[in-house]
Amino acid sequence: MTDTLEKSKFPLSSIEFAENLDNQDKLSKFRQEFVIPLRRYVSGENAVTEKESDLDDECTYLCGNSLGLMPKRSRELINEELTTWGQKGVEGHWNHTYNRPWATIDELVKEPLANLVGAKPVEVTAMNTLTSNLHSMLVTFFRPTETRFKILIEKKAFPSDHYCVSSHLESRGIDPKIGLLTIAPRKGEHTLRTKDIIELINSDKEIAVVMLSGVQYYTGQLFEIEKITKAGHDAGCIVGWDLAHAVGNVRLHLHDWQVDFACWCSYKYLNSGAGGIAGLFIHEKYKNDQSRPRLAGWWGNDKENRFEMEPQFRPSEGASGYQLSNPSIFTTISLLGSLQVFEAAGIDNLRQKSIMLTGYLEKLLETELKQEFESDMIRILTPSDPQQRGCQLSLEFPENMMQVFSQLQARGVIVDERKPTVIRVSPTPLYNSFKDVYNFVMQLKQVMNIVYK
Ligand SMILES: *Cc1c(COP(=O)(O)O)cnc(C)c1O
């Protein structure tokens, strides 16, 4: 817990404590950059209110881990694209009303994405969607041999990653029962120990690719990416990361950490809108490597002669050489709107606030729901060490989780549920306030009394 939380002159459980932190928060102004849904639209039929006008209040949105909120600039930027389309038609590729020609639109997001993941611009690109990028990377980096043919993921990896790896193995003629290796926490534990991951990497000599998630979607655990990457390399493996829950959430240094490849979606903490364009990192050391096969498309061709329409593929340097199709203008520009806010706020500042925001959430929960914790009605699955988590806390309710969830929603608190027992709560430093966290905990306290009376 950081000093600022401890030094406050207000009692932890008071609203003044939260308001005071919001007043001192230099990033609080960025909340205005986002559209916060009103309770009227999200509380459902069974909204619990004191008075009708409560429905005109903003909801308490703690669900950026699932879908980030809409940046106001993205709406403007998308409108500008529609204007350009209307005014110029195909000409918009070269001659754009707002000087963002579609032929090179993806270049606008390269640098801000590189800044977010600790990479050089040549190492990143925006393309496709997350699961399809994972497949693309496996085409390139999974080179099974007689003696090395396994891919390591978490036993509780996001289902799409399971399906991706299983189907990918099958496409290479490898039975997933043999090729898919998973790792689970120790019995009675919720999160993985780095030591256990490294031991498995060292002892199983048949792993070709280690492909874990940077932040585990279910538990919120942040893995020790640098250490695990190094251990994978020492054991002769390729190491790639699924950063869906890590990007825009924690500090990443993919270049320095020597990560081989990484993929992420952009609609969670990056606020690009549902189904937004995904991101890809490939380490600089592969930037001119043409020895590996790849899935190719015309957008991966060197842009100098892309429009010469030659049948011979000449890849762009670095990650851009893996692009397939011309990118969606709307999802790319919507992502740009959000990245501009990230650039203005600074990821280091955001992470600093995030550690406080989640630390406050944890502390307030443990204080206000002390009895419920003691009687195991509620548990936190996420590590308590801020260095081992991002902004999310995964709360386990062994009984009646869905009732807790619906009662929260009826009170204008938007979190998300993972059946059978987990509610994930993610205060994001870009648009959440300390008061949001306060509201959540106070509402949860009431809801617990109703559900478990
Ligand atoms: C959100 C998420 C996905 C979703 O994949 P899409 O291809 O973007 O639909 C996949 N993997 C992980 C780990 C995720 O968190």
* Cβ-based neighbour number of residue 390 at 10 Å: 28
Span from the CA of 160 to the centroid of ligand 1 (angstroms): 6
What Å distances lie between residue 72 and 66, 129, 248, 338, 437, CA to CA?
A: 19, 23, 18, 9, 23
Q: What is the pLDDT of residue 275?
A: 97
Is the N-terminal amide bond of 420 cis, ω within 30° of 0?
A: yes
Q: Which pair of tokens denotes residue 236?
A: 């002769």
Per the listing, tokens 């002669």 go with 305
Mutate to test the pocket of ligand 1, among 66, 265, 280 (most ligand atoms within 8 A of CB): 265
* Cβ-based neighbour number of residue 90 at 10 Å: 9
Which residues of the chain fall below pLDDT 50? none
Strands 261-264, 70-71: pairing is unpaired
Q: Which residues are known binding-site members for pyridoxal 5'-phosphate?
A: 130-131, 158-161, 213, 242, 245, 267, 298, 326
Q: Does ligand 1 lie within 6 Å of residue 161's CB atom?
A: yes
Q: What is the pLDDT of residue 328?
A: 97
Q: What is the pLDDT of residue 311?
A: 87
Q: Does ligand 1 lie within 6 Å of residue 135's CB atom?
A: no
Q: Does ligand 1 lie within 6 Å of residue 162's CB atom?
A: no
Mutate to test the pocket of ligand 1, among 153, 168, 217, 271 (most ligand atoms within 8 A of CB): 217
* Cβ-based neighbour number of residue 306 at 10 Å: 16
CA distance 231 to 198: 6
Q: Does ligand 1 lie within 6 Å of residue 154's CB atom?
A: no
Instruction: Name the residue with the closest Cα to ligand 1, atom 10.
Output: 160
Span from the CA of 447 to the centroid of ligand 1 (angstroms): 31
CA distance 342 to 363: 27
Q: Which pair of tokens denotes residue 60?
A: 């308490």
Contacts (Cβ under 8 Å, ≥6 apart) of 143 = 208, 292
Q: What is the pLDDT of residue 305?
A: 86
Q: What are phi and psi for residue 183, nearest 5 degrees?
A: -125, 135
Q: What is the pLDDT of residue 264?
A: 98
Contacts (Cβ under 8 Å, ≥6 apart) of 183 = 152, 153, 154, 155, 192, 196, 197, 200
Q: Does ligand 1 lie within 6 Å of residue 424's CB atom?
A: no
Q: What is the pLDDT of residue 2?
A: 58
CA distance 252 to 250: 6
Q: Say whether pTM exceeds 0.95.
A: yes
**What is the 8-class DSSP label of residue 64?**
T
Average pLDDT over the chain, rounded to whole? 96
Span from the CA of 130 to the centroid of ligand 1 (angstroms): 6
CA 267 to ligand 1: nearest atom: 8
Interval 147-200: pLDDT, tens: 999 999 999 999 999 999 999 999 999 999 999 999 999 999 999 999 999 999
DSSP 238-289: EEEEE-TTTTTTS---TTTTT-SEEEE-SSSTT---TTPPPEEEE-GGGTT-
332 burial level (CB within 10 Å; 0-12, 13-18, 19+): buried
Interval 416-429: pLDDT, tens: 999 999 999 999 99
Interval 17-30: pLDDT, tens: 999 999 999 999 99
Q: Does ligand 1 lie within 6 Å of residue 265's CB atom?
A: yes
Q: Which residues are known binding-site members?
A: 130-131, 158-161, 213, 242, 245, 267, 298, 326
Q: What is the pLDDT of residue 256?
A: 98
